[in-house]
């Protein structure tokens, strides 16, 4: 199977590091022109110059702050005045960790702005040209927590459930335009986010970070943490013509972490 995204234009959130960066890299390697989007302009500038251009790809970046929805709205609206997107990867940084007992009502509002409002607003804008072109791919970076909530990630558990339900509704609405909408249920991947969460957990439990990681690996069927590159392969497939009949799904990429059917 040949995955070609030549002439496709992709917008990838949270792509100066971790999972988003690996997705952007793989989409670009498959021929897509990528707009990177995250906070640090310095990192974005560095990464954009490293993306492949051997298939005539033209890459760019957009510096945004997902924590400030008002500003984000303005920046992304301006972007869409001058750009169209065929492949949208909705991905932001994770919300703050903490249990349901620790989190207060305002924390949920903040997480809602970050994980839900940015996604819905960006998708609304992207859908304009996708509908006109009768082709589109929307990929939401979600979490295995929508199937098995994690006790110390109450905000993520709650709001991601809303995102995947919204995505399912949207998939039904836009399928007639050859636009697919899928959620990827992320397991454990080797990124800064996981390192930060592990550091917090190690501190709480008074143990070494390496011990937290070992325990984490032991819960995964294949006994290891995922390489973000592996995430990129799935995203490139979902973004391709080959995946035209896959929509409205929740696809785990977790090495067998989820134990539910
Ligand atoms: N890694 C895992 O195992 C795992 C598991 C389940 C779910 N997830 C979820 O998957 C998503 C990606 O995770 P990840 O591990 O790749 O995270 P990560 O390594 O922390 O990367 C986050 C990305 O978001 C950007 N970012 C951070 N703050 C930002 C802001 N205020 N505005 C705009 N961009 C910002 C970062 O760029 P800058 O440095 O430029 O700010 C970076 O590119 C998160 O929502 C996470 O909760 C991850």
Domains identified in the chain and CATH numbers: 9-188+227-253 (3.40.50.720)
Q: Please give the distance, rounded to the nearest whole angstrom, from the Cα atom of residue 130 to the centre of ligand 1.
A: 26
β-strands 87-90, 9-13 pairing = parallel
Question: Using one digit for the tens of pLDDT, what is the confidence trace for 39-58?
Answer: 999 999 999 999 999 999 99
What separation in angstroms does the CA of 155 have from each of 12, 69, 100, 171, 194?
A: 23, 17, 8, 24, 16
The DSSP secondary structure of 11-72, one letter per residue, reads: EEETTTSHHHHHHHHHHHHTT-EEEEEES-HHHHHHHHTTS--TTS---EEEE--TT-HHHH
191 close to ligand 1 (CB < 6 Angstrom) = yes
* Token couple for 155: 């905000």
For residue 212, name the pLDDT band (cuts at 50, 70, 90): very high
Q: Ligand 1 center to residue 190 CA distance, Å?
A: 11
Does the beta carbon of 153 sit less than 6 angstroms from any atom of ligand 1?
no
Round to whole Å and give the CA distance between 184 and 167. Answer: 11
Alpha-carbon gap, residue 242 to 231, rounded angstroms: 17
Q: What is the residue with the minimal CA distance to atom 36 of ligand 1?
A: 14
pLDDT at 151: 80
Residue range 11-47, pLDDT digits in tens: 999 999 999 999 999 999 999 999 999 999 999 999 9
């Amino acid at each position: 199977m040949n995955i070609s995204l030549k002439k496709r234009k992709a917008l990838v959130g949270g792509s100066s590091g971790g999972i988003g960066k690996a997705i952007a890299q793989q989409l670009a390697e498959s021929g897509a022109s990528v707009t990177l989007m995250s906070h640090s302009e310095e990192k974005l500038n560095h990464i954009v110059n490293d993306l492949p251009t051997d298939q005539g790809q033209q890459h760019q970046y957009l510096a945004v702050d997902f924590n400030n929805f008002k500003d984000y709205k303005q920046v992304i609206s301006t972007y869409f005045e001058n750009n169209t997107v065929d492949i949208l990867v909705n991905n932001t940084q994770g919300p703050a960790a903490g249990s349901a007992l620790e989190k207060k009502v305002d924390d949920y509002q903040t997480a809602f702005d970050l994980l839900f409002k940015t996604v819905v607003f960006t998708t609304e804008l992207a859908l304009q040209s996708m509908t006109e072109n009768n082709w589109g791919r929307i990929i939401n970076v979600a979490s295995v927590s929508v199937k098995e909530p994690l006790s110390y990630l109450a905000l993520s558990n709650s709001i991601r459930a809303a995102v995947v339900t919204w995505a399912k509704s949207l998939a039904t609405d836009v399928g007639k335009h050859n636009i697919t909408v899928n959620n990827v249920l992320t397991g454990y991947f080797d990124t800064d986010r996981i390192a930060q969460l592990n550091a917090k957990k190690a501190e709480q439990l008074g143990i070494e970070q390496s011990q937290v990681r070992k325990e984490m690996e032991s819960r995964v069927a294949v006994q290891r943490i995922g390489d973000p590159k592996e995430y990129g392969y799935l995203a490139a497939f979902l973004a391709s013509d080959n995946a035209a009949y896959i929509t409205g799904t929740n696809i785990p990429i977790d090495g067998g972490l989820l134990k539910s059917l």
